[in-house]
Chains A and B, each alone.
Chain A
Amino acid sequence: DIQMTQSPSSLSASVGDRVTITCRASQSISSYLNWYQQKPGKAPNLLIFAASSLQSGVPSRFSGSGSGTDFTLIISNLQPEDFATYYCQQSYSLPLTFGGGTKVDIK
């Protein structure tokens, strides 16, 4: 199985901040990397697919980059509704695997 490691596991930030979350794969996954946002009690929501493509309807303050083994999700100008947990997921090979999550809370 491909292991996905996210860092940090949690962070505190303020509205308006720029937030960076990283995800590392245990082997190369090309650009088969997705990012999800999950709010408490809700299903995850796809933000970014194929490492850097913004899902329809997702605000442009979210961006993704990377390829191979190292990936980054950036939230620029953090908004109150962005406080949530973020997960990366690889879709390069089965089983699909998720990172452990990064919880973004209010400083």
Chain B
Amino acid sequence: EVQLVQSGAEVKKPGESLKISCKASGYSFTNYWIGWVRQMPGKGLEWMGIVYPGDSDTRYSPSLQGQVTISADKSISTAYLQWSSLKASDTAMYYCARSLTTTIQGPDYWGQGTLVTVSS
């Protein structure tokens, strides 16, 4: 059974750093792209970027390039989303999600979400 289990909710202050995780199981982690989707409070879904764990090839949404870093550690089947300096506008639910196929496609399996709250 494919599962994506994300790390727990976080409360941070502006300017702090953060790294959230997504542990995958039930499939070959290195063969599928895995991405991140943001959902700000009361808003829709926004695709942030995606990583191929096999070779760490990473693609970002142009609107978020430079603001976050997406990575993966294939030795522990885990993908990451990190910030070096959080802003209040980063407050959102973040989902990791696996590509439907071995190429970049829309996701089929999703994590349960990680709520990130940034407040002074």
Contacts and interface: CB of A to CB of B under 8 A. Distances in A.
B37 to A, nearest CB: 8
B95 A43 contact: yes
A91 B110 CA distance: 16
A46 B107 contact: yes
A101 interface: yes
A15 interface: no
A38 B44 CA distance: 10
Contacts of B44: 87, 98-101
Contacts of A34: 100, 105-106
Interface residues on A, range: 20 to 34
B61 interface: yes
A95 interface: yes
A23 to B, nearest CB: 13
Interface in A43-70: 43-46, 49, 55
Given A1-B62, A43-B112, A44-B110, A91 B45 contact: no
B62 A95 contact: yes
A87 to B, nearest CB: 6
Interface in A1-45: 1, 32, 34, 36, 38, 43-45
Contacts of A96: 35, 47, 50, 104, 106
Contacts of B112: 43
15 contacts: A34-B105, A43-B95, A43-B97, A43-B112, A43-B113, A44-B95, A44-B110, A49-B105, A49-B106, A49-B108, A91-B105, A95-B62, A95-B63, A96-B47, A96-B50
Interface of B: 35, 37, 44-47, 49-50, 59-63, 95, 97, 100, 104-108, 110-113
Interface of A: 1, 32, 34, 36, 38, 43-46, 49, 55, 87, 89, 91, 94-101
Given A34-B106, A91-B105, A97-B47, 11 more contacts: A1-B62, A36-B106, A43-B97, A46-B100, A49-B105, A49-B106, A49-B108, A95-B49, A95-B60, A100-B44, A101-B44
